Structure 1
Amino acid sequence: MKLILTAAALALTTGGAMAQDTVRMATEGGYPPYNFLNDAGEVDGFERDVGDEICERAELTCEWVTNEWDSIIPNLTSGNYDTIIAGMSITDERDAVIDFTQNYFPPAASAYAAMSEDVDLTGGVVAAQTGTIQANHVAESGATLLEFATYDETVAAVRSGEADAVFADKDALVPTVEESAGEMIFVGDDVPLGGGIGVGLRESDTELRDKLDAAIQSMKDDGSLNELIVEWFGEDAKTF
């Protein structure tokens, strides 16, 4: 069983990933079905399965760590862990700070969910998780952006009436809407954002990036990556 630690417990560990015995894979642990903590407190979800398979194919020993979303990039660049595998879309803004592998999840839709169809998505208050491409989109849409540190808090803001709608990855919103038993509904049109989801790394870790890239490509080539996407997101999910 792989060890799960907090970033704080690793704060004194520095150095290039390939110089170490293990590669530390950071995720948020709060964005199902991409990543979450199961009842045993272990990292679970689509990205746990993908990450484990990538590490096996790359012949790497990997260790899962968790970190809050709003500091996940700074803690990567400061050396607290070696990769980010946390539903992070590849964008030019992020790519200017860190490096990315090729995407392991194709560009997907973002969507709005609300308690009623009669919401103003461009003039009302829309909740989004801070530091996401969805938050940037809301800020540019004309709506009042209400940012929260976690996805769960964005949904809670809609249910409490603090926000008119939430804007997030549609794949994350689908189970939330379905489990609400009609309390929440999708509103407006889907919005395509980002260049797909990739593994984030420090720009200096080119050897590690190449190893992970090769592993991801092999999963695309043999269809195993598509199988995991369908397993976690359903038959209608967009695949490679």
Structure 2
Amino acid sequence: MKKLILTTAALALTAGFAAADTVRMGTEGAYAPWNFVNDAGEIDGFERELGDELCKRADLTCEWVKNDWDSIIPNLVSGNYDTIIAGMSITAERDEVIDFTQAYTPPDPSAYVAMSADVDVEGGVIAAQATTIQAAFIAEKGWTLVEFATPDETVAAVKNGEADAVLADKSFLDTVAGTDGLVMLERMEQIGGGVGMGVRESDQELKAKFDAAIQSMKDDGTLNALIAKWEVASQW
């Protein structure tokens, strides 16, 4: 699902996973329903519930770490946490710097939200979160792109007239469409290659543990049930 890579330059793999250590789960906490901070100040959402279940199945002790999106890959590589579980689409560019588990959701459609249903997205100004697959898509098309650090800022840009529409994961835009005059356009884009957990290239043991846990949830139907509960993507 969402989000492209930052720079790949000079990021060294210095920190490794030790089986006896607590696994730190890095997430953005700002992309409902995938991940967000609830009223109690705790990480919540589809990926919180999924991550806790994966840790249980992998017999791992896990704790959650909130990190801004624009530094989420560098801070994984530098050892601030051990995984990324943050609605991150698996892309070839990201895979040059980190490794991914198998996908835990199929690709989520990207959608547009605007203040009017007749917006010309190809000729207008489109907002997207920086370093996302949506921002890359707009840039590759040669359309006019404005980037923001957070998903909420992209929506605000449409409301205040700074952008004509925002392009983001449909599951995120479902949470704002219909509010404050925002409407979802009929046009959708199919970009990205499914969402997986990011790990350091050196942490193949950890990757294998989570791969097995994800597969077990696919096999017994609990992953599809969780996807349906949070309405984040199509089911397997």
TM-score (ref. length: structure 2)? 0.92
1:1-41 deviation digits (Å, cap 9, x = unpaired)? xxxxxxxxxxxxx7312255200000000000000000011
Out of 212, 215, 218, which is 1:217 matched to?
215
Counterpart-to-counterpart distance in 1, 2:165 and 2:116: 9
1:193 aligns with 2:228: no
The structure whose residues are more often strand, as a share, is 1
Which consecutive segments of 4 or more residues in structure 1 shift more than 4 A? none
The structure whose residues are more often helix, as a share, is 1
Aligned to 2:227: 229
Deviates more, 1:221-230 or 1:186-195: 186-195
Report the 3-state secondary structure (helix = DSSP H, G, I; strand = E; otherwise coil) of the residue aligned with 2:176. Answer: helix
Tell me how far 1:117 sits from its aligned partner.
1.9
Tell me how far 1:194 sits from its aligned partner.
1.0
Whether the 8 Å CA contact 2:128–2:134 is kept in 1: the answer is yes
Tell me how far 1:119 sits from its aligned partner.
1.7
Aligned to 1:122: 122
Whether the 8 Å CA contact 1:123–1:142 is kept in 2: the answer is no
* Residues 92-103 of structure 1: pairs in structure 2 closer than 5 A: 92-103=92-103
Report the 3-state secondary structure (helix = DSSP H, G, I; strand = E; otherwise coil) of the residue aligned with 2:177. Answer: helix
Count of aligned positions: 223
Counterpart-to-counterpart distance in 2, 1:119 and 1:229: 31
* Residues 141-160 of structure 1: pairs in structure 2 closer than 5 A: 141-160=141-160
Q: Which residue type is aligned with residue 186 of structure 1?
A: M
* Ranges in structure 2 where 5+ consecutive residues have no aligned partner: 1-13
Tell me how far 1:195 sits from its aligned partner.
1.0
Tell me how far 1:136 sits from its aligned partner.
0.3
Counterpart-to-counterpart distance in 2, 1:54 and 1:208: 12
**What's the % identity of the aligned pairs?**
65
1:181-201 deviation digits (Å, cap 9, x = unpaired)? 6x1111241111111000000
Tell me how far 1:208 sits from its aligned partner.
0.3
Tell me how far 1:74 sits from its aligned partner.
0.4
Q: CA RMSD in A?
A: 1.3
Q: Which has the higher contact order (CA 8 A, sep 6+)?
A: 2
Counterpart-to-counterpart distance in 1, 2:230 and 2:134: 22
Counterpart-to-counterpart distance in 2, 1:15 and 1:101: 18
* Ranges in structure 1 where 5+ consecutive residues have no aligned partner: 1-13
